[in-house]
A and B are shown apart, each in its own frame.
Chain A
Amino acid sequence: MFRNQYDTDVTTWSPAGRLFQVEYAMEAVKQGSAAIGLRSATHVVLATVNKAASELSSHQKKVFKVDDHIGVAIAGLTADGRVLSRFLRSECINHTFVYESPLPVSRLVVHLADKAQVCTQRSWKRPYGVGLLVAGLDETGAHLYYNCPSGNYFEYQAFAIGSRSQAAKTYLERRFQAFNNYPREELIKDALSAIKETLQGEKLTSAICTVAVVGVGEPFHVIDQKTIQEVIDSMEIREEAAADPGTMQEEDKSSEAAPMDI
């Protein structure tokens, strides 16, 4: 009811104890195209939907390598995301310069969260309008964090942000308990399936998504389109095999399903 009176700047509290500008910034994250992350004990996978502004243009870059052991996927104002990625990269480089070892993921997300918090407490600034899924590997294992514009961060087994992410979250909620033991390939397949949920009918091809992985013995990198298309094709073959008459089950993971003649 009083939302419009107390939302002019970030340094004004509402009577209910909320900072509306910060909440509006989190809305900006929901407007961006979807980004999801999943983690197992040894690998973390990030996947994003590539939405191009028009048919004539290329899509925006939403996945950034921060260091060999850390990468981020963003949703929201991509310009803010780019700037924050530059900050994250510089933090990693500075840490490695001084300590000759990779920056632990938990420390990096704290630096990022502190930087975001500053923008919620200065009258001449505005919060960053971007949510970041930080995927990384360090001595304590594989980690997936979500950093939001409010300056909060949370660790997740799997998460989805951006538009139509609720569909992906529902998909992940059903399956996340098994993720810790998943091998790398299964994690990638589930990431693609979650992306598919956000597409709501649109066909999943490797051209409209970006998938990146980091894991034990595997530095952070974006997987090339050809490999992703092969994974998508193999998933579709399995789906059609499962949907064949005789078994009307949902497309649960059936590892021994052989491709039938199509």
Chain B
Amino acid sequence: MALSRDWMYENNGGTCVAIAGADYCVVAADTRLSIGYSIYTRDYSKICKLTEKCVLASSGFQGDIKALQKNLAAKHLIYQHQHNKQMSCPAMAQLLSNTLYFKRFFPYYAFNVLGGLDNEGKGCVFTYDAVGSYERVGYSAQGSGSTLVMPILDNQLKSPSPLLLPARDAVTPLSEADAVDMVKDVFASATERDIYTGDKLEIVILNASGVRREFMDLRKD
């Protein structure tokens, strides 16, 4: 009787995407929660607002993700008590990395994308693996549909090699409306081929005027 570690985790599927702009950030995720070949619910949000300027989207095992979000929210509250202000997005990014690595030997089964505005008001996106390795990027996708989405984002958004041209910011030149449209397009495409992605798309847009939320229907099959 082999002792398998899989029973401690499940994969609830789903895809998360984030795109950073010059003064905005778009974070999006589908709302389907699956297990095996079944759908548990078509209406589960994978996006969690951590601060006024920082939003976390996570795909993977939603039980671990819920615990991770609660953990971060509690740590953020302590920070606010001590510093009398909210955490900045880069600070939260580091905190998330440390929190994930803390459980290096029994990881959170969470594939995270953190999006928000940095201290200068520019959009920032941080992408993670399950144990906390992270990087600031201009755009990212995680989750079951990430392999379908990432090549499209690379095709549209990736800047030419820095060896050829002067290095650029980790930020895309798209306008906010274009970024939202692109996100809708990539999700529509990912939904076609990934069985775990679909039902509804939740889009959160952060900019100088605050946080806005949009929804779009996706294929339900």
Residues on A facing B (Cβ under 8 Å): 65, 86, 89-90, 93, 96-97
Contacts and interface: CB of A to CB of B under 8 A. Distances in A.
**Range class of the B interface residue count:** under 10
A97 B74 CA distance: 7
B78 A97 contact: no
A97 B81 CA distance: 16
A90 B74 CA distance: 9
Dominant secondary structure at the B interface: helix
A108 B77 CA distance: 18
Nearest to A64: B81
Given A90-B78, A93-B74, 10 more contacts: A65-B81, A86-B81, A89-B77, A89-B78, A89-B81, A93-B77, A93-B78, A96-B74, A97-B70, A97-B74
12 contacts: A65-B81, A86-B81, A89-B77, A89-B78, A89-B81, A90-B78, A93-B74, A93-B77, A93-B78, A96-B74, A97-B70, A97-B74
Contacts, number: 12
A86 B78 CA distance: 9
Interface of B: 70, 74, 77-78, 81
A97 B69 CA distance: 11
Contacts of A90: 78
A97 B73 CA distance: 9
Nearest to A98: B70
Nearest to B67: A97
Contacts of B70: 97
Contacts of A96: 74
A93 B75 CA distance: 9
A85 to B, nearest CB: 8
A104 to B, nearest CB: 18
A218 B77 CA distance: 18
Contacts of B74: 93, 96-97
A89 B77 CA distance: 9
